[in-house]
Amino acid sequence: MPLPKDPAKIEEWKRKLSLAGKGRPSPLKGRKRSPEAVEKTRQALIKTCADPLYRKRQSETAKAKGYGKWMKGKKRSAESIEKSRQGNKGFKHSAESKLKISKSKAGVATTVGYRHTAETKQRIARSNTGRGNGMYGKNAVFNAGRGKSGWYRGWHFRSILELSYVVLVLESERVEWCSAELACPRIPYKDECGNDRTYAADFLVSNSRLIEIKPRRKCKDVDVLVKARAARRFCRKRGWTYEIVTPKRLSPTAVLSLVNTGLVVFDKAAK
């Protein structure tokens, strides 16, 4: 069905073409075109796009339908956005296409100077919260947090307070203990915004006490109290107890002594 030369007949031609192919798979589906056919199509498009009449028709159509340069500074409707989203759903670039895009973007800093709007920032934050977060349900990585982290007798600590509790309390009382992160399943809870999260305490002592180490100034923080409620429910089901502990801190001299004897090795980022 050739393209009519009369501009008034273009829309009718498009409608007929759409109806003719409706419900039928494309004859080119699954077929790979030869380089000669691709080049022939490319040259035909170049010739068509060079036609002033064609360019004028395209410009008028874009202006009437509200796309292309005519959309500059305008906000798309929710229906238009959803239509585009559904049209692109499930689409994947081929490896060759990805390579071409990568080469075309090489050395181009497309985000330099770009700032997200407050609305976009909130949307990104919501999408990465709770189950949308890649770390949901997983143990924290080494060097996480702001405290000085390192190793003591094969156990990884994330703060001097944790190290102090082990040296001054657990080892002096000679009780059985282990990392709760490794010994217990993570505890599910909802934060103050209602988002799904998981939590692991610091120590499991005597296989019956779940211990969380916190500095005194943080013991009443909202997030700490929310986690504590979930942890106490978790412990009641097992006949355990849950405690938030602020231990006495090791002196700098004591820490230095542990380092000099090789018992404590700080992570590089903490040194």
Look at residue 200 and tell me if it is in a domain: yes
DSSP H or E run through 49: helix 35-49
> pLDDT by residue (tens digit) across 33-44?
888 888 988 898
CB 183 within 8 A of CB 204: yes
pLDDT of residue 143: 44
Residue 94 in any domain: the answer is no
CA neighbor of 166 nearest in space, from 218, 202, 207: 202
Is the pLDDT at 139 greater than 60? The verdict is: no
Mean pLDDT of the 71-96 span: 80
Locus of tokens 């997200």: 116
| Residue 24 covered by a domain | no
246, burial (CB in 10 Å: exposed 0-12, middle 13-18, buried 19+): middle
Q: What is the CATH number of the domain that holds 165?
A: 3.40.1350.10
Residue identified by tokens 């505890």 is 187
Q: Which domain holds residue 253?
A: 159-270
**76 part of a folded domain:** no
What is the pTM assigned to this prediction?
0.49
Inside any domain, residue 63: no
Give the pLDDT confidence of 199-256 residue by residue, as tens digits. Answer: 999 999 999 999 999 999 999 999 999 999 999 999 999 999 999 999 999 999 999 9
In a domain, 214, yes or no: yes
Q: Is residue 136, in this structure, part of any structural domain at all?
A: no
User: pLDDT tens-digit profile of 3-59?
Assistant: 777 767 777 877 887 777 777 777 767 778 888 888 988 898 888 888 888 888 878
Per-residue exposure over 151-188, b if at least 16 CB sit within 10 Å of its own CB, e if not: ebeeeebbbbbbbbbbbebbeeeeeebebbeeebebbe
- φ, ψ dihedrals at 191, nearest 5°: -75, -175
Q: To the nearest whole number, what is the mean pLDDT of the chain?
A: 82
Q: Which residues contact 243 (CB under 8 A, 6 or more apart)?
A: 209, 210, 211, 212
Q: How many domains does the chain have?
A: 1
